[in-house]
């Protein structure tokens, strides 16, 4: 057995080529976290223990803490295809289950707007491997949410255009049903935003351990390899918390915070290629203080890993550290003057802006020295 197959859940399982493509391949920049190790071991340990099997996992915490990448890493570790669904407020039942589309005649199809015609054709001609939203995202270059709205428009249009023809209907399963039936690892992003209680219930019952889903055309059974990873930002005052029933389904949960400073630096290095540890260290300290300050003062925005990466990248390409602090970090948290004052105070009290100027002065000096020595050697 190869080391990377250590956690394969169904080693004997044969994936199709298209499915193999969906199994995440870890990039070189990927660093294995404690959470990744813990979940992989737990799931493996319990995989053949009947009711103790762990197949619904919750990753809850800070934006940018690595929830999505962890879900993908689990796909790689378990050897399961990775798919995802991004939830949105107005999701309805067809987004959970799928939609029935009438197949309209080619004469009627020819009389439609080109965009609609092409979209419908793509759906009719699809290989049934991809879900309807995926097909639309692909042919129209749109997001999952827009594709879901588009699908509803097309459905209406197709129904209006059936006329009195004898009609064939085709069922297009959702991404959720596809993962459920074929045994994929499905990341369910932000299900807390869903407004309709009936939709939440449908999602909840799709996560039942030994369940089945009743489709208009057939009943599909849950594939034994189906794993759902719910990823969600921690709720703050004013946001909708994760539905209790869904929470209750979960068999393993991880609290995902801003990583430790060492890991922040390591990830920023591998992502941006910037190597100055002294600078990276101060930038990380600043992000950490801002993160604490936003929480302590109930400021809604986040200072997280993404800001850290973009800020580092800006500095690496020569931007002023102070100026880019505002554009890459602070204004992303808030543009409210009082809140900005609080953040600035916190940085001043910790002496961090001064340390930043110090380390950057050193960097400048070093650069000048290298440039001089290069020019002395006739380089440019």
Ligand X SMILES: Nc1ncnc2c1ncn2[C@@H]1O[C@H](COP(=O)(O)OP(=O)(O)O)[C@@H](O)[C@H]1O
Q: From Mg ion, ligand X, none, which one binds at residue 267 (CB under 5 to 8 Å depending on kind)?
A: ligand X
Q: How many helices (H) and strands (E) does the chain have?
A: 18, 9
Across the beta sheet with 185-189, what order do the strands follow? 82-86, 185-189, 227-233, 56-61, 252-256
Residues in a beta bridge with 171: 100
Residue nearest to Mg ion (CB): 68
> C-alpha 93: how far from its chain's center?
22
Stretch that binds ligand X, among 6-14, 59-67, 91-99, 368-376 (CB under 6 A): 59-67
Give DSSP secondary structure letters for 53-103.
---EEEEEE-TTSSHHHHHHHHHHHHT--EEEEE--TT--HHHHSEEEEEE
CA distance readout (Å), 148 to 97, 174, 203 = 12, 10, 16
* Positions in the binding site for Mg ion (CB under 5 A): 67-68
Judged by CB, which is closer to ligand X: 101, or 254? Answer: 254
Judged by CB, which is closer to ligand X: 108, or 271? Answer: 271
Q: How far is the CB of 93 from ligand X (least distance, A)?
A: 26
Taking CB under 6 A as the rule, does residue 335 contact ligand X?
no
Q: Which residue has the tokens 């990448």?
A: 69
For residues 178 and 75, is the Cβ–Cβ distance under 8 A?
Answer: no
Taking CB under 6 A as the rule, does residue 84 contact ligand X?
no
In this structure, the chain runs to a length of: 380
Residues 1-30 that bind ligand X (CB under 6 A): 29-30
Q: From Mg ion, ligand X, none, which one binds at residue 63 (CB under 5 to 8 Å depending on kind)?
A: ligand X
Judged by CB, which is closer to ligand X: 69, or 133? Answer: 69
How many residues touch ligand X (CB under 6 A)? 15
Taking CB under 6 A as the rule, does residue 68 contact ligand X?
yes
Judged by CB, which is closer to ligand X: 119, or 230? Answer: 230
Gap between the terminal Cα atoms of the chain: 51
Residues in a beta bridge with 82: 185
CA atoms within 13 A on the CB side of 317: 7
State the binding string over 278-317 for ligand X (x if CB under 6 A, else -): ---------------------------xx-----------
Q: From ligand X, Mg ion, none, which one binds at residue 69 (CB under 5 to 8 Å depending on kind)?
A: ligand X
In 3D, which of 301, 299, 285 has the Cα closest to residue 353? 285
State the binding string over 223-262 for ligand X (x if CB under 6 A, else -): --------x-------------------------------
Judged by CB, which is closer to Mg ion: 187, or 285? Answer: 187
Structure tokens at 343: 């953040």
Given the rule CB under 6 A, which residues bind ligand X? Answer: 29-31, 33, 63-69, 231, 267, 305-306
């Amino acid at each position: 057995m190869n080391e990377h197959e250590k956690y394969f859940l169904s080693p004997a399982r044969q994936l199709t080529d298209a499915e193999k493509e969906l199994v995440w391949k870890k990039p070189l920049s990927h660093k294995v976290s404690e959470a990744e190790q813990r979940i992989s071991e737990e799931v493996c340990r319990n995989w053949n223990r009947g009711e103790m099997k762990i197949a619904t996992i919750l990753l809850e915490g800070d934006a940018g803490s690595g929830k999505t990448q962890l879900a993908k890493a689990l796909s790689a570790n378990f050897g399961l295809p990775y798919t995802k669904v991004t939830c949105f407020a107005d999701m309805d039942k067809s987004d959970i289950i799928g939609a029935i589309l009438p197949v309209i005649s080619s004469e009627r199809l020819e009389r439609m707007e080109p965009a609609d015609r092409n979209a419908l054709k793509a759906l009719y001609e699809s290989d049934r491997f991809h879900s309807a939203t995926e097909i639309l995202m692909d042919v129209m270059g749109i997001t999952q949410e827009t594709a879901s709205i588009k699908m509803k428009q097309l459905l209406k249009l197709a129904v209006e255009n059936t006329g009195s023809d004898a009609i064939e209907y085709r069922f297009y399963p959702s991404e959720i049903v596809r993962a459920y039936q074929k045994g994929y690892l499905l990341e369910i992003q932000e299900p807390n935003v869903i407004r309709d209680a009936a939709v939440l219930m449908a999602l909840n019952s799709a996560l039942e351990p030994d369940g089945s889903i009743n489709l208009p055309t057939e009943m599909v059974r849950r594939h034994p390899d189906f794993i759902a990873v719910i990823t969600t930002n921690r709720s703050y005052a004013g946001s909708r918390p994760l539905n209790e029933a869904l929470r209750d389904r979960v068999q393993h949960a991880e609290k995902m915070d801003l990583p430790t400073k060492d890991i922040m630096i390591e990830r920023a290095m591998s992502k941006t290629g910037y190597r100055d540890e002294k600078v990276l260290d101060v930038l990380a300290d600043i992000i950490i203080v801002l993160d604490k300050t936003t929480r302590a003062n109930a400021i809604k925005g986040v200072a997280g890993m993404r800001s850290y990466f973009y800020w580092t990248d800006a500095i690496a390409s020569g931007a002023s550290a102070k100026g880019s602090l505002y554009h890459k970090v602070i204004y992303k948290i808030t543009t409210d003057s009082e809140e900005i004052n609080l953040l600035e105070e916190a940085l001043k009290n910790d002496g961090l802006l001064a340390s930043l100027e110090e380390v950057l002065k050193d960097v400048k000096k070093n650069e000048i020295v290298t440039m001089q020595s290069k020019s002395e050697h006739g380089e440019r």
